[in-house]
């Protein structure tokens, strides 16, 4: 459980945020999706202390999307 919370889930959030930003050209889709998934997991698999991770994982996805947006540069605008 320790490895999942601190390594696997943040890495998956970061990668999915980058992938969704690249394909959908929006950095907001995946953080919202991951936030909803985390809240559902909090009520079904984990307890209320998972709420902290429900905030941090969407932030990781947002960071991944922002990194992809910055690395793509001018091609993002279609130029």
pLDDT of 25 reads 84
CB 17 within 8 A of CB 63: yes
Domain boundaries, the chain: 12-67
**pLDDT by residue, tens only, the chain of 79 residues:** 788 778 898 999 999 999 998 888 888 999 999 999 999 988 998 888 889 989 999 999 999 999 988 888 656 555 5
Task: With CA atoms as reference, report the closest residue to 13 among 59, 61, 67.
Answer: 61
pTM above 0.75, yes or no: yes
């Amino acid at each position: 459980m320790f490895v999942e919370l601190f390594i696997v889930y943040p890495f998956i959030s970061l990668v999915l945020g980058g992938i969704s930003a690249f394909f959908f050209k929006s950095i907001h889709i995946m953080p919202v999706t991951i936030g909803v998934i985390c809240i559902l997991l909090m009520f079904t698999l984990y307890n209320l202390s998972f709420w902290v991770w429900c905030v941090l994982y969407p932030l990781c996805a947002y960071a991944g999307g922002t990194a992809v947006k910055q690395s793509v540069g001018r091609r993002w605008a279609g130029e």
